[in-house]
A and B are shown apart, each in its own frame.
Chain A
Amino acid sequence: MTSWFTSPADAGERLAAVDYLADDGIATSVFLAAALGKPLLAEGPAGVGKTQLAKAVAEATGAELIRLQCYEGLDEARALYEWNYKKQLLRIQASGEQAWEETHDDIFSQEFLLERPLLKAIRRTEPTVLLIDETDKADVEVEGLLLEILSDYQVTIPELGTIAATRRPYVVLTSNATRELSEALKRRCLYLHLDYPSPERERDIVLAQVPGIEAALAEQLARTVATLRALELKKSPSIAETIDWAHTLLALGRTELDETTTADTLGVVLKHASDQARAVKELGLPAR
């Protein structure tokens, strides 16, 4: 499985080519995940580009992205596989004279198996990136379900036996850390903590994502957002919100981020009234 990336630097460059600016930590983890054949667990606050990372890896390597969105109540039937019982019923009714033994063997075959994302990713022969999104939203039982897939890249279906991956998918798990994932799961993964970027990196991200913005304004934006994040806010602005802010300023035709402009557009980045009040006070903005 060394065909994904040749070195951390290569990983960084190819991600940059699809407009994902990776720092050392990201590039190294992305490279290692492929080189060691281990899943990559990306954890961090909302809106720092965790899901985007998986999409970028898929785009950079030309692999297909298979996504499993986790939510409360997600179960085996939605994540892994399900027997198509309607079709099975029809088959039984249609069998008529056939002996039960034969019918039994018939209805538990590939034909009646409904693939869900995990099984699909395991069975694919082309390069695949499997994204298991917001793992922390799923119940604890789902983690147990994932363990077999993540450590051995295989799925056991009682009626069919064990299906091993013909070609190991590149697995990315994301989590917002609303709850601690189990030690067993973490141990099997490489861990990447994605945090808010440094102002230098954020400026580059804004320049890459928002065509037509001036470098000076991007720099000012990144610095201002870094200052906002240093305040004790309920919700710090995410990268996505910084980019929204940049779009907003462009749309308004502003070339400089001064006090009035900031006060007028603060709602783009801060979405709690108390956070806004705090920012107005700490940055010395004109009250509205």
Chain B
Amino acid sequence: MSLLDRHVGFVDALRRAGLPVSLAEGLDAARALEVIDLTERDTLREAYAATLVKRPAHRPGFDTLFDLWYPPVTSGLHVSGAGRDEDGPDLATAEVPELRDRLAELLLNDAGATGDPAFGEFVRAMVERFGNQPAGAGRQNWFSYSVLRALSPGTLMARMLNEVLLGRDRGGMAETVARRRLADNIAGFEEAVASDVRRRIAEDSGVEKIARSVVRPPVDQIDFLRVTKADLARLRREVYPLARRLATRLTIKHRHGHRGRLDFRRTVRASLSTGGVPIVTHMRPRRPHKPELVVLCDASDSVAAFSHFTLLLTYALREQFTKVRAFAFVDTVDEITRFFAPGADVVEAITRMTREADITRFGRSDYGHSLERFAEKYGDAIGPKTSLLILGDARSNYQRPQLATLKRLAGEARHAYWLNPEPRAQWDTGDSVATSYGGVVPMHECRNVAQLAAFIEELA
């Protein structure tokens, strides 16, 4: 494959993975290839990144694809033992405990983070030795879990901690810091193994084939309902930046009124620069409309990630709303506003809410009963200035939906919206009563952060 073909193929793979690479940007990248030293792989990677990747959320996907299209080594040309440490064990024949010793040594020296060639060599040798598993009749395939199972880097932690701390107190700050560092190094090792496994699969069955399945969606496109624990932490970290971004946009939207009352003082002041003739008029900014917000969210496990995230975001946006009151329910309802006090800790708020709030009777979500109880206990929370926001998948376990109650609540509120984290195609399947509720309160599909942000902008 020529360099040009590879370049075009790579750009194409990026587009398939959802990166918006324009023609002009592809040309820029090609021009960059002319002026850099192509034998420097890191420079090549950064040159591509600088010209093609214009959003940080796209960078992980880019890195994965880059490793596939421009692999650091290829098995055919690979000379075994070229970068090996003199004093290290022979990686092809050594016993597992010896290899684990070597791994611990590499991890303790931050070999992965500092780009020590011995680290890459070790990873490749280990994948060569343990990663190859028979898959079906007469076929071989590569797996990273078999490598990790053989070496189990996670179990080296206790040993390495002892070595780092050298008899200092356990449980203090020193341990937390060291643990963090070693966990990062272990994650780096696991990622390096996975990357080498992908490279080998690509060599066996073609780059295009694997490229389609390996790239994970960027953080704002992650489906709320398929969120993993690691994703959830990443999402929560997005809350404040996202809130800040939204707030800026909302403030700009509020300020940009070219209609409204004349600001006499500013107009006269501005007219001085045109010899007293008021050419440019200035208007008073319109009074911002700040809705009172009542959030009613389903806290059952199936949609918990979605509800929590949305709650956090509305709270982070507190300046945009005069008043936010939040209620959670599974099959009965409780007010949870107190857990989200200003300055409260994000993670703490969620744990306290699940522990202390009285929202469960039998543990299966029941929208009808929850709505009844809400109308009964907290009906006065909704007034003519309130926007009512309901978060949930409208799956009520075949209980009565109590549409009349919802209709009354929605009628009392200024606006009512329903955000559903399920894809539209799944509404009304099984026990979902999405359309019935949707007939009373307009229901929006809200599957990822991007859709949520778009909705909030419309709301405020």
Contacts and interface: CB of A to CB of B under 8 A. Distances in A.
Interface of A: 2, 7-8, 24-25, 27-29, 31-32, 35-36, 38, 41, 43, 85, 89, 139, 177-180, 183, 186-187, 189-193, 195, 198-200, 220, 223-224, 226-227, 230, 232, 234-235, 258-259, 262, 272-274, 277-278, 282-285
B113 A187 contact: no
Contacts of B64: none
Nearest to B44: A28
B456 interface: no
Contacts of B28: 36, 38, 190
Given A25-B46, A89-B275, A224 B240 contact: no
Nearest to B255: A72
10 contacts: A8-B40, A25-B50, A32-B47, A32-B50, A35-B32, A36-B28, A199-B181, A223-B180, A223-B181, A284-B173
Given A35-B35, A36-B32, A282-B176, A232 B233 contact: yes
A227 B241 contact: no
Given A36-B32, A178-B245, A179-B249, A28 B176 contact: no
Contact of A272 (B46, B343, B348): B343
Most buried by A among B24, B36, B275: B36
B180 A227 contact: yes
Contact of B173 (A41, A139, A283): A283
B221 interface: no
A139 to B, nearest CB: 8
Given A230-B180, A232-B237, A32 B32 contact: yes
A32 B248 contact: no
B56 A198 contact: no
A29 B46 contact: yes
A43 B51 contact: no
A189 B343 CA distance: 38
Interface string B166-190: 0000011110111011001000000
A227 B248 contact: no
Nearest to B347: A232
A230 B45 CA distance: 26
Interface string B10-43: 0000000000101011001001100111001011
Contacts of A29: 46, 50
Contacts of B54: 41, 186-187, 189, 191
B236 interface: yes
Contacts of A36: 28, 31-32, 35
Given A273-B343, A274-B344, 6 more contacts: A24-B45, A32-B47, A35-B35, A85-B273, A179-B245, A227-B181
Contacts of A41: 54
B121 interface: no
B25 A232 contact: no
Contacts of A259: 172-173
Given A32-B47, A195-B56, A226-B181, A7 B343 contact: no
B325 interface: no
Contacts of B32: 32, 35-36
Nearest to B41: A24
B interface bracket (residues with beta carbon within 8 Å of A): 35 or more
Contacts of B408: none
A186 B25 CA distance: 10
Contact of A8 (B43, B53, B177, B181): B43
Nearest to B35: A35
A224 B233 contact: no
A180 B56 CA distance: 12
B345 interface: yes
Given A38-B28, A199-B181, A200-B110, A190 B43 contact: no
A171 to B, nearest CB: 14
A118 B248 CA distance: 26
Given A28-B43, A278-B345, A227 B273 contact: no
A58 B422 CA distance: 52
A178 B248 contact: yes
Nearest to A29: B50
Contacts of A7: 36-37
Contacts of A179: 245, 248-249, 252
A29 B237 CA distance: 27
B59 interface: yes
A262 B176 CA distance: 13
Contacts of B50: 25, 28-29, 32, 190-192
B36 A200 contact: no
Contact of B241 (A25, A177, A186, A199): A177
B352 interface: no
B114 interface: yes
B157 interface: no
B62 to A, nearest CB: 11
Contact of A232 (B20, B274, B343, B346): B346
A232 to B, nearest CB: 6
A168 B166 CA distance: 57
Given A29-B46, A186-B54, A285 B173 contact: yes
B49 interface: yes
A223 B164 CA distance: 13
A234 B49 contact: no
